[in-house]
Amino acid sequence: MADPTVSAARDLFEDSFGGLRRAIEGLPAEGLNWRPAGEDTNPIAVLAAHAMGSTRSWLAVAFGAPLPERDRPAEFRTVAGDATELLTHVDGVAEDCRSLFEDAVFEPGTMRTSHTRSSSGDAEVVTGAWALLHAAEHLSEHSAHAQLTRQLWERREG
């Protein structure tokens, strides 16, 4: 029987991932790269790249898998050529995440080390449980941001 916590986290992942896909589907490059409130806000392309990179990383921490290669600053420089290109990237990372859920050995109390954080220059040491919950909530947060940004794009004036 699957661990109910892991099953719940996977369901949350799939819900958030579906919302992120819906925010991307069918948008032109201009909409994917549009910054809703100026240069200090993130477009859908950045939200998608960052959310998926972060989720993949935190799931690796949660399940004790090797940390993936990640260039967090590059995620915030993402520019999408079109929705198909962005969805190909997002779907590929989602498959990596799904494989982590499938091969999961969840030890919620085991302390694990994250990537080095750009803000502090240090890695975080957290429990498997914290990493799993953070992966789910962080993806949900950015999926909602992307959905709201799409709504703003569709309702913009001019």
Distance CA 61, CA 106 (A): 10
Q: For residue 111, give the H/E element and its range.
A: strand 111-116
Is-contact 47 32, C-beta < 8 A? no
At 3-12, the pLDDT tens digits run 999 999 999 9
Q: Which amino acid is at 19?
A: G
Strand, helix or coil for residue 147: helix
Q: Which domains does the chain have, with CATH numbers?
A: 4-155 (1.20.120.450)
At 6-61, the pLDDT tens digits run 999 999 999 999 999 999 999 999 999 999 999 999 999 999 999 999 999 999 99
> Of 44, 1, 35, which Cα lies nearest the Cα of 143?
44
- Helix, strand and coil percent figures for the chain, each rounded to 5: 60, 10, 30
For position 158, what pLDDT does the model report? 59
Mean pLDDT over 101-122 rounds to: 89
At 58-93, the pLDDT tens digits run 999 999 999 999 999 999 999 999 999 999 999 999
What's this model's pTM, rounded to 2 decimal places? 0.94
Query: Burial level of 32, CB count in 10 A (0-12/13-18/19+)?
Result: buried
Strands of 31-110 (E only): list them: none
